[in-house]
């Protein structure tokens, strides 16, 4: 697919046609990474990182560990 690079303020912009964006699962304001490989510009979508339980637990330390929480006595039909 061919498209044109156009001026946008002091920068250059590459317009991505809607059909291509849909096929590539691109959304407005999505963060991407641009890399140069000789004469190619590679656009990589940077999605939200998914963490494993082990990765999340690695971030727990004495400094950010919450104290035990007491929700109090039952006030309705719930049981503890």
pLDDT given for residue 75 in this prediction: 85
pLDDT tens sequence across 42-55: 999 887 788 899 99
Q: Is residue 73 part of a domain?
A: no
pLDDT given for residue 13 in this prediction: 94
Q: Is residue 10 part of a domain?
A: yes
Q: Is residue 21 part of a domain?
A: yes
Q: Is residue 75 part of a domain?
A: no
pTM to 2 decimals? 0.52
Q: Total structural domains in the chain? A: 1
Rounded Cα distance, 66 and 42, in Å: 43
Per-residue pLDDT band at 80 (split at 50, 70, 90): low
Q: Is residue 44 part of a domain?
A: yes
Enclosing domain of residue 28? 5-48
Counted residue by residue, the chain has a size of 80
Per-residue pLDDT band at 36 (split at 50, 70, 90): very high
CATH of the domain at 13: 2.10.260.10
């Amino acid at each position: 697919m061919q498209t044109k690079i156009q001026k946008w303020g002091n920068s250059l912009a590459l317009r991505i046609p809607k059909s291509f964006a849909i096929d590539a699962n691109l959304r407005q304001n999505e963060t991407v990474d641009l890399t140069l490989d000789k004469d190619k510009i590679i656009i990589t979508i940077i999605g939200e990182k998914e963490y494993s339980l082990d990765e999340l637990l690695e971030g727990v330390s004495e400094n950010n560990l919450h104290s035990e929480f007491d929700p109090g006595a039952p006030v309705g039909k719930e049981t503890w």
